[in-house]
Amino acid sequence: MSAAPQIKGWCPSAWRPMLSGDGYLVRLRFSCGILSSEQARAIAALAQRYGNGVIDLTRRANLQIRGIAEERIPGLQTELLAGNLIGSDAGDIPAVIASPLAGRDRDALIDIRPLVRELEAHLAADSRARDLPAKFCIAVEDGGRLSLQDVGVDIAFEACCRHTRIGFAVRIGGEHIGFIETDNLAETALTLAAAFCSLRTRQLSPARRMRDLVEEVGTSSITASCPALSRASGHTKAQRHKHAWGGYAYDGVGPITEDVFGLAAPFGSFSGAQLALLADVAAVHAEGELRLTPWRAVLIPAIAAGAIDRVAAECARAGLITDACDPRRYVAACPGAPACPSASVATRQLATLLGPLLRSRDTLHVSGCSKGCASSAASSLALIGREGRYDLVRNGTAKDTPVLFGLSPEDVCLAVKRITTEDLAHV
Ligand code: SF4
């Protein structure tokens, strides 16, 4: 029974599998989250052949093949390499999250795909990037329809209009720090990342995320070595549409435009059969491309006219979530026990049981431990495993202080029923 979450300090990759409770897992990244039908089909087949058939879509828009036996790892790596699903470079580089419809969004100000590829190449080649903490993440937005404002990243570039020119607004740890020309994106990212590394090492307890460093030292010391930054005025799409949209909560499920449809798997875990079906649906009804999003949803772009309902129906038949109001979309749960060694409780069975008890607009997070991998956002109800029992947090995250402790699954069901039928203040 685990007493505390294990902080590993590194992220898995194809070349650096991570041992979990259900065997090893490998993580696969795709530039701009773009995956062809052929690639998706190949991953589905490899997950069934080498793993336990489960493929997670992570909050960094990566795929994870789970449940791999140690002796099968070299065979899987060989096949991933042969299928061009991974590169031969074993180096860890920070995650780059791009607007999920990059290059296909008519509302976008710029096609960011080449800039993201350039940034990834710079990060892979520059030794400064190796010193970054594992969770460090960079976002590049095209100023289009799907905002990444709600995705917690360390450095964010958002395409914007400055007079008649397109540039990028830059944020670090959520704070706006200025604008850059498009040509300066990669170098600016590396300079800010290097400043982060250098300043954090001077701290007694080095910051792991940019927002922590910004809180400690302010933005000016981090941007001091960044000559490409300009303070001149510009307008991001977020600034222009803030009031009209009334926020940026978005989860990527349902029709996005007349030719883009989003869907998700319960708890973000696809079966091999579901991923293979998505590959076929995208090939038959669209242009054979899938887009992975940080909302743990998959988008199918360029769907043929009139085919969107068929896409939705085929995906729903396969058990996927196709309706943004589906209650399963409001329930988050990490793999829990026995899949994760940090977990002392099962999570998804309980989450499935509790989902129907929720009131509309309630959200539920069941976490195997206080690390809270499945969701960093506050939930109406959060259940956190501890020493084989559950603690219950109201309107908070897995790290917040519980109001009820040491509950059995039966106690949890009773408590949730009471909470969802009575005034929460009396619980
Ligand atoms: S939150 Fe869940 S998946 Fe993450 S370390 Fe804890 S038990 Fe494991």
Q: Which of 66, 373, 399 to mutate to test the pocket of ligand 1 (most atoms within 8 A of CB)?
A: 373
Tell me the CA–centroid distance for residue 167 and ligand 1, in Å.
39
Q: Where are the domains of the chain?
A: 18-91+252-324, 101-245, 329-426
Tell me the CA–centroid distance for residue 6 and ligand 1, in Å.
8
Closest atom of ligand 1 to 337 CA is 7
Q: Which of 22, 58, 369, 393 to mutate to test the pocket of ligand 1 (most atoms within 8 A of CB)?
A: 369
Under 8 Å between Cβ of 37 and 282:
yes
Tell me the CA–centroid distance for residue 384 and ligand 1, in Å.
10
Quickly state the pLDDT bin for 2 (edges 50, 70, 90).
very low
**3-state percent breakdown (helix, strand, coil) of the chain, nearest 5:** 35, 25, 40
Q: Do domains 18-91+252-324 and 329-426 have the same CATH topology?
A: no
Please say whether the structural domain 18-91+252-324 has been given the CATH code 3.90.480.10. yes
Angle between helices 185-200 and 210-217 (to 10 degrees): 60
Closest atom of ligand 1 to 385 CA is 7
Q: Which of 371, 375, 387, 391 to mutate to test the pocket of ligand 1 (most atoms within 8 A of CB)?
A: 371
387 pLDDT more than 80 = yes
164 pLDDT more than 90 = no
Please say whether the structural domain 101-245 has been given the CATH code 3.30.413.10. yes
User: 3-class DSSP state for residue 412?
Assistant: helix
Under 8 Å between Cβ of 302 and 259:
yes
38-52 pLDDT per residue, tens: 999 999 999 999 999
- Ligand 1, CB within 6 Å, residue ranges: 5, 334-336, 340, 342-343, 367-369, 371-373
Under 8 Å between Cβ of 404 and 392:
yes
210-250 pLDDT per residue, tens: 999 999 999 999 999 888 888 765 555 554 443 333 333 45
- DSSP 8-state class, residue 265: -
Distances (CA, A) of 356 to 103, 275, 297, 351, 353: 39, 26, 21, 9, 7
DSSP string covering 363-378: -EEEESSTT-TT--S-
* Over residues 366-372, mean pLDDT: 95
Strand partners, 255: 261
51-96 pLDDT per residue, tens: 999 999 999 999 999 999 999 999 999 999 999 999 887 667 889 9
Tell me the CA–centroid distance for residue 184 and ligand 1, in Å.
38
Q: What residue's CA is closest to ligand 1, atom 2?
A: 368
Tell me the CA–centroid distance for residue 23 and ligand 1, in Å.
15
Please say whether the structural domain 329-426 has been given the CATH code 3.40.50.1370. no
pTM tops 0.75, yes or no? yes
- Start-end of H helices in 137-203: 185-200
Cα separation of 361 and 137, whole Å? 30
Tell me the CA–centroid distance for residue 419 and ligand 1, in Å.
25
* Over residues 355-373, mean pLDDT: 91
Name the residue with higher pLDDT: 9 or 151: 151
Under 8 Å between Cβ of 68 and 25:
yes
